[in-house]
Amino acid sequence: MSNAYDVAYERSIQDPEGFWGEAAEDLHWYRKWDKVLDDSHPPFYRWFPGGVLNTCYNAVDRHVEAGRGGQFALVYDSPVSGSKRAITYSELKDQVARFAGGLAGRGVTKGDRVILYMPMIPEAVIAMLACARIGAVHSVVFGGFAPQELATRINDAKPKVIVSATCGIEAGRIIPYKPLLDAAIELAAHKPETCIIVKRPQVEADMVPGRDIDCATAVADTRPAECVPMMATDPLYILYTSGTTGDPKGIVRDNGGHAVALKWTMRNVYDMHPGEVFWAASDVGWVVGHSYIVYGPLLHGCTTVLYEGKPVGTPDAGAFWRMIEEYKVTTLFTAPTAFRAIKRADPDGTLLKHYDLTGFRALFLAGERSDPDTIQWAERHLKVPVIDHWWQTETGWAIAADCIGLHRQPIKYGSPTKAVPGWVVRVLDENGAAAPAGQTGPLVCGLPLPPGSLTTLWGRDDRFLQSYLNAYPGYYLTGDAGYIDADGYIFVMSRTDDIINVAGHRLSTGAMEEILSDHQSVAECAVVGVADDTKGQVPLGFLVLKAGTDGNPEGVAADVVGMVRERIGAVASFKTAVVVERLPKTRSGKILRGTIQKIADNRPYKVPATIDDPTILTEIEETLNRIGYAHSRS
């Protein structure tokens, strides 16, 4: 018997132009498109060619004109600075228009690039929308990135203006941004004409005469800028993601397809309604922040939450519950690592009992694989649907999800459910043919990709083809590996390079991590494949234990070794697990498995620019030396 999901999915595949053309009617267009899909130049497909709209108008002005200007558009909560702000749609329109006027007054016009090197403050959102308002292409660089990393992005995007702040604030420390920005500009071959600096009271900054200007001064007495009509195919933003060569890849997102897709997902994937409160506990420097702190909720007329804090430590593991209660959050979207941190600090969910979560409907997890134990822990304590979904910086929105706005699917733990309407997902075998159900292999998506996904890499069509499209003609290579079962459920087990070869057997480290996380004492874990003279590779496990765990670490390690042997078998050759205090992660919460693997194999590695705390790598190296891994290969 068909349901709303089945009907929507079937139509999106059989009649994509009718499906997405209908979705696009929910937006304001100055001019309708000539056709929904331009497939005349594959694999460079374009959505809504000839259509004219403005993303900022659809995200802000439209709601004010519809009489909802008094609704909060953005609420800002910063436990690290002790400040809060609430901004209505009318106030947001005024502030964005004035910021856009300040940019225009410094020569920024349609097509110019503006880099935002910002902490999690309202001015970051305002600056993004201001760029969209006047047709400038924004590129947000995660605040606090090292000067060299920022310099490479400056050279690639060639911004006319950089918007930054005097500092960022994290739990227990303040990070001055201006010295990092000055060093990056010194390193860069391209020099921006202007730097607009938001002054925060925690840190003063030396301003460069003739180049730097205080944000308050930049927008004072400026003429508010009106929305500039943009072609649907014009770029909205560039977002850099790390490349394998160390040369960042500038993902390009367009205006039309992006707005259509995100507006559609808010209702159909997340089951959100205008006026409700949506909170993506991420950062504007990442794709989740772009899609679901800024554009998605505002396009849909929701209230969005900007949180400058952590899941634990600001002040405790009840921080998320306090936010949900205080702002009446309907749906929370965060990374699995955030909930592992909460589970580790408060395994019995004691702090949750102090808060009223009435009205909270759903938790969505993404960013890395959600292990079943973490999902089940959240389900037990929150008593709402906990939904793992899978997507990437490149895709901009979910490839696979339980689309609760259409129809809830039966749960299969370990799976982000089925392909979202618009996405054709396949697993390929070693010959590039479709693999049978249950067989692990590279996960790919059929072309054309749906609206909202990347259109190319900034200035590098050739690299776009090489990185994503050439390996399997007609498909986008996700870089993830997994399998699809007989019911169409997708299981994303690991990155393609995390499939290890143990004595000729291809095994998923993600499947092993799933087993390790089932142990009652394990808060989070990682498994990497390390070099072995006999078997080629063998798996090595790292365990972080829950707070207050009884028993000895060696006993837990022995337990999980036995669990892997029991569930996968001796073929896995899983013989070693070690307990560590913490795992190296990016600031967005992804575990740096590749870096751990290089340390274990005693290979050279570069400290990733996105790492949350580089000192963790030293701890990992010392642990590996202690158990004989790095030492045996030195």
> Measured between alpha carbons, how far is 329 from 169 in angstroms, rounded to an integer?
24
Same domain, yes or no: 456 and 560: no
d(CA 380, CA 377) in angstroms, rounded, equals 5
Give the pair of three-digit tokens for residue 534. Answer: 């006999």
Q: What is the CATH number of the domain that holds 169?
A: 3.40.50.12780
Q: What are the residue ranges in the chain where pLDDT is below 50?
A: 244-245, 631-634
* Residue 375 covered by a domain: no
**Encoded amino acid at 590, one letter:** K
Residue 572's nearest CA partner among 631, 519, 516 is 516
CATH number at residue 617: 3.30.300.30
- Contacts with 555 (C-beta within 8 Å, 6 or more apart), sequence order: none
552 and 461, same structural domain? no
Distance between CA atoms of residues 204 and 167, nearest Å: 9
Q: Whole-angstrom Cα distance, residue 255 to residue 259?
A: 6
Q: Within a domain: residue 368? A: no
pTM of the model as a whole: 0.84
d(CA 136, CA 125): 14
Residue 384 covered by a domain: no
d(C-alpha 343, C-alpha 320), whole Å? 12
| Class of residue 471 by CB neighbours under 10 A (exposed 0-12, middle 13-18, buried 19+) | middle
The answer to the question of residue 542 being in a domain is yes
Classified as helix, coil or strand, 231 is strand
Q: Are 124 and 237 in contact (CB under 8 A)?
A: no
CB 503 within 8 A of CB 573: yes
Nearest of 480, 537, 534, 482 to residue 505 by alpha carbon: 537
547 shares its domain with 430: no
- 537, 541, 474: which is closest to 500 by C-alpha? 537
Strand partners, 445: 425, 476
282 with 416, same domain? yes
Query: What letter would DSSP give residue 115?
Result: E
Overall residue count recorded for the chain in this entry: 634
> Could you tell me the two tokens for 530?
């390390």
Query: pLDDT tens digits, residue range 215-245?
Result: 999 999 899 999 999 999 999 999 998 654 4
- With b meaning 16 or more CB within 10 Å and e meaning fewer, what string describes 246-267? eebbbbbbbbbbbbbbbbbbbb
Best CA proximity match to 37, nearest among 25, 27, 46, 29: 46
What is the rounded distance in angstroms from the CA atom of residue 144 to the CA atom of residue 291? 21
For residues 233 and 128, state if they share a domain. Answer: yes
What distances in angstroms separate CA 7 from CA 1, 420, 450, 468, 514, one per listed residue?
10, 12, 17, 30, 33
Q: Are the beta carbons of 238 and 139 closer than 8 angstroms?
A: yes
Distance of CA 631 to the CA centre of its chain: 36
Exposure class string for 546-563: b at 16+ Cβ within 10 A, else e: beebeeeeeebbebbbeb
Same domain membership, residue 131 and residue 53 = yes
For residues 448 and 525, state if they share a domain: no
Residue 383: inside a domain: no
Residues 458 and 512 placed together within one structural domain of the fold: no
Where b means 16+ CB within 10 Å and e means fewer, 591-618 reads bbbebbbbbbbbeeeeebbbbbeeebbe
The residue whose two tokens read 């195919």 is 233
Q: What is the spatial distance between Cα 163 and Cα 197, in angstroms, rounded to a whole number? A: 6
71 — phi, psi (to 5°)?
-75, 145
Note whether residue 622 is domain-resident: yes
State whether 432 and 548 are in the same domain.
no
325 part of a folded domain: no
Q: Is 600:630 a contact under the CB 8 Å cutoff?
A: yes
Domain co-membership, 603 together with 459: no
Q: How many domains does the chain have?
A: 2
**Nearest by Cα to 491 from 500, 480, 499:** 480
Spatial distance between the Cα atoms of 71 and 328, rounded to a whole number of angstroms: 14
Identify which of 141, 362, 151 has the alpha carbon closest to the alpha carbon of residue 271: 362
Instruction: Give the pairing of strands 362-365 and 386-388.
Output: parallel
Q: Compute CA 97 distance to the chain's CA centroid, rounded to the nearest angstrom.
A: 27
- Matching residue, tokens 């079943």: 372
297: nearest Cα among 281, 320, 274, 319? 274
Read out DSSP for 155-206?
A: HHH--SEEEEESEEEETTEEEE-HHHHHHHHHH-SS--SEEEEEPPTT----
* Domain final residue pick, 470, 487, 522: 470
Query: Is the residue at 99 inside a domain?
Result: yes
Query: Do 91 and 150 sit in the same domain of this protein?
Result: yes
Rounded distance between C-alpha atoms, residue 584 and residue 617, angstroms: 6
* Look-up of token digits 């950089």: 162
390 in Cβ contact with 492 (< 8 Å): yes
The domain in which residue 568 lies consists of 505-632
Question: The tokens 């291809």 sit on which residue?
Answer: 506
Identify whether residues 448 and 513 lie together within a single domain: no
Tell me how far CA of residue 512 lies from CA of 115, 296, 442, 529, in angstroms: 41, 35, 18, 11
Give the pair of three-digit tokens for residue 35: 């056709």
